[in-house]
Structure 1
Amino acid sequence: MRKILSTLLLASGLLLSAQVGINTDTPKATLDVNGDINFRNKIVLLNATDNTLSEGNNDQLLVSQGEGYPPTWKTLRIPEYEPNKFYLIFNNSFSDKVGVKFTNGEEASMTSSRGATFNKGTNISSLQGFKKINGLSQTISVFSTQSKAYFQFETVVQANFGPNGATDTSIDYACGIFVDDKLVNLRQRNLKASSANYPFLTHNQIGIVENLTKGNHTVSVGCARLASYGDTTKTLAIGTNTNTNINGFVAQSSLKVDVYEVPEVFNPIIN
């Protein structure tokens, strides 16, 4: 009996210290199972703090926390996408306090009508007199062939006109939104002199482009001085100030970008 007991104790000690393999003669872990595993009841984790057992919740997964740390239950927060519906995939806003200025010598010299010049898809290099607002040039990513990108541009435009109530003293200008240097949206406006010194206005425009190719794209904003009337010697400022009745904070530019897509890289889930 003493020999049998000693043998059992020795075998138990070996089991406690050795690696155990099921369906393998060369286990590579404390317990190495080579084959399918079927758990008929529950998997539980021991909480070493209070020695309680945790079974996890529905839809939770057992996740490793790295070598030397116990595993834990985690919930995967995967959004549910329905087929053929657009979802907001990218959203960001950018700002710029530098802006651009135009003297009378930087006015665009257009050889054809504005209607013939400003066409969707025109490269900015073909639009004379346009300057980019550098801080608004940013990279966006598109992951689906079905997408809609919305752009909202806002800035302040000022000229250093003195007090003049004459309506024929004014400056025409234009601002365009570009994707990969191609025009996708343009607005023209006119800043008029008034009875006040150094008039300014708030400029807003919204653009949209559909079904950009998948990959990275650069969105940018560029503006131009088109024509002057009356006193043509004055400076035009867009996204910055010409005089101290407003400051750079007030005059700064902003661009908001939203990209909606019909997801292609997610498995659709229908409830």
Structure 2
Amino acid sequence: MDTARAPLAELARTAFLRACRLDVETRKPGNVSVASAGHGMTSAQFIASAGTAAAGLFTARARVGVRILDAVRRTFDAVGCNTNLGIVLLAAPLCAALERFAPDESIDASRWQAATERVLAELDIDDARLAYRAIALANPGGLGDAPEQSVRAPPTVTLRAAMALAADRDSIARQYANGFADVFGAGLDAAGAVTPATEHRAMLDAFLTHLSNWPDSHIVRKQGAAVAQSVTRAAAMHHANWRAAGRPLESPGLDAWDAGLKARGINPGTSADLAVATLFVALLTNAALPSNA
């Protein structure tokens, strides 16, 4: 495909699907990948999920809540399990924000973030209601259970307000509260100027950055805060060593850590979701889309 002349919506869909494929093409410690299945899931399920979820996420003029619920329903119809709820929750506002640009317009990260902030500011209770239904359908362990605004009860506040209540314990909720500051900030800084030649390194760098900076929310829910904090400390060490070695595509140290995390049932899934959102932004704003994406 000639990405130089493709409309923005087509480029965005290509960037999203490429980011999702990079998620499993890149061996990231503790995550499912082409090289290393785990947690009862395979890379094929993640790739199938991305393709079917994209139809919901890129529905023209749909509200954010509709995009979320449609994408989650399509995912369950395709693979029968929750492979991408976090990705969907992050991608929906980003996709909606892109509709604020002209079809032939080139965008940069700062303008996309500003448009995303406007989308977040306009979220309402209907968006919350639809998102709650999606989260309940996906049924991720512990996600959505809270003293206030639990997804098990009808919402009484907007989706952004509900996410803000969870922002101190969930990194995806924090993006709704802070205008995707972690994605457009530390994440993009780590990914750098992505090209087809560097995209796998960019994915791994973004993942390790997110995992090093914040305890992974999925690990907190599954194994507790102490385990999550220990993984974050280990991530910082591995990240520094990997960068010092020149960011190699093959890393025995990271591969061994990957195997060790999976043996303990530890999956830094939220960090992977944040990395996918980061690469979605990086690929589109850098126009780094290979023809076979």
TM-score normalised by L of structure 2: 0.21
Larger Rg belongs to? 1
- The structure where strand makes up a greater share of residues is 1
- The structure where helix makes up a greater share of residues is 2
TM-score normalised by L of structure 1: 0.22
